[in-house]
Amino acid sequence: MSRGQIDRRTFMKVSGGVLAAGIAPSLSAEASLSEQPPYSVKWYPFTGHPDSDTCWSLSVGPDGRIYAAACAEGVPGGVVKPVRYNEQRDDLDYLFNLAEKVDDPGDSGRASQCKIHYSFAPSMHDGVLYMATHLSGPPIDLPVYSPWYSWHDAKRCFRGSALLAYDTRADQVLWWDTLIPKEGCRCLLHDEERGLLYAMSYPRDHFIIYDLRTRSRRDIGRISSINPQALFLDKRHRVWTSSDYGHLVRYTPETDRLEISPGLLAHDLNYQTGWHSVFYDVAPSPDGECVYASTWCPNPRLMRIWPDQGEWPRVEDLGPATQPRDTSFPIDMYRDHCGGLAFAGDGKLYYVASRWRDPKYNPTPESRKQNEGVVWRLDPETLKRQEVALLEHPTGLAHYVSRGAVDHNGDLFFGHVGNRPSGIFKVSMPADRKRKNAHLPIRMWG
């Protein structure tokens, strides 16, 4: 991620007063790495797409294999290439140039089809993996792109998020459509029983429904300004996300309404208001009764949310995911980050939180890296968490994980942002903590 991209994504950062939120028990009993069974870590760079600078999407496909997006958003005219982990070769397969598949090549002069942003969604009955593109990559002859500035510019404006259906059984693109004209798709969800895709548009933050049977789109309207980074589905087919000010947002198909919760999601009561406490990542509990979520906010919080408990869900604040810091000075959410939430075959929640050297709060020696990506293992029963691995990149960064997933062999994979070429990490699970088909029941959103 370039400096400029960080600036765009963190536009309008602020902190303010204090508002109410839920309880905030601290996550406890952190164990040291040496006490844990070995979790071996391996880095897979996108060498087949050297322009790639980010990997915003990593999901398990309907076939149980790992798919990731080799995104190139810092390159004028850059395009995204979906990749798949090949367990026989222990390497990556580059599936296709998405821009070519959707007739919107990188040299079009428009903002390019540069990335897939939390927008893989599986379809189990037919083995299709849906994917939708996002924007930010500049036109080939401009250094940067702004969707606000170029909204009315037919020559420059992003053509729109391309929705693509990829048949993982036949390894072919079945069809594509424009999901959201002029806008990117921040995150995607599939309600397979109802044949509907749900998406959040960027930059206008509209809630979009796409009917797969009729291949038609409905715009349900705006939520707020800062995009939530995740949608999730409950057992009643309601779709959930969050608003700028840290409220839950619920779409109920029966009423066709977007509703805003009265309460706020978890945030630090000492100095935050709930503003920007939008979802970053949400993982379903294997039993389908609750979800675990992290926020896209400095000092991201972990939460457990029970959608079916009460008129509005019960939200448990599981505390901060990252270290204390000097709150009198802003910190960017590239350094202070938590993502990659995924349940593994051992029934535990895994996620990656950043950790960084800080003279007061984490005075690590110079022999350690300035920024570290820590793989945590959270026990849902006790809410105790254990540090089980550090992500290691041979030369570059390893602390910003976008998404995580477990494949059909039970191993963990994490998409990473910040190196060039970008890539993914594989974290091999200890034998006694993995099982076949650990990816099921599958997560239906990116």
Instruction: Note the residues at the interface with another protein (CB under 8 A).
Output: 12, 14, 16, 49-51, 72, 75-79, 106-107, 140-144, 146, 148-149, 151-152, 182, 203-204, 221-225, 243-244, 257-260, 262, 275
Taking residue 37's Cβ as centre, other Cβ atoms within 10 Å add up to: 10
197: its two tokens:
């895709």
- 410 closest CA partner among 425, 427, 394: 427
Compute the distance between CA of residue 416 and CA of residue 419 in angstroms, rounded to an integer.
Answer: 8
Question: Least distance (Å) from another protein to the CB of residue 290?
Answer: 25
Q: For residue 86, how far is the Cα from the chain centroid?
A: 22
In the complex with another protein, the residue whose CB is nearer, 146 or 323, is 146
63: amino acid identity, one letter:
D
Question: Least distance (Å) from another protein to the CB of residue 191?
Answer: 21
55: its two tokens:
């990997």
In the complex with another protein, the residue whose CB is nearer, 5 or 168, is 5
In the complex with another protein, the residue whose CB is nearer, 139 or 418, is 139
Taking every pair of C-alpha atoms in the chain, what is the biggest distance, in angstroms? 59
Whether the link from the prior residue into 330 is cis, omega within 30° of 0, is no
Q: Indicate the DSSP class of residue 37.
A: P
Compute the distance between CA of residue 111 and CA of residue 296 in angstroms, rounded to an integer.
Answer: 25
Please state the φ and ψ torsions of residue 123, each to the nearest 5 degrees. Answer: -130, 110
In the complex with another protein, the residue whose CB is nearer, 224 or 386, is 224
361: its two tokens:
């709060």
Question: Least distance (Å) from another protein to the CB of residue 394?
Answer: 21
Question: Least distance (Å) from another protein to the CB of residue 131?
Answer: 19
In the complex with another protein, the residue whose CB is nearer, 225 or 437, is 225
In the complex with another protein, the residue whose CB is nearer, 250 or 355, is 250
Compute the distance between CA of residue 250 and CA of residue 341 in angstroms, rounded to an integer.
Answer: 21
179: amino acid identity, one letter:
L
34: its two tokens:
């040496």
In the complex with another protein, the residue whose CB is nearer, 8 or 335, is 8
288: amino acid identity, one letter:
G
Distant-in-sequence, close-in-space partners of 328: CB < 8 Å, separation ≥ 6: none
Question: Least distance (Å) from another protein to the CB of residue 148?
Answer: 5
Q: Helix H segments across 300-339?
A: none
In the complex with another protein, the residue whose CB is nearer, 148 or 329, is 148
Give ∠ CA 231-233-236 in degrees, rounded to 5. 150
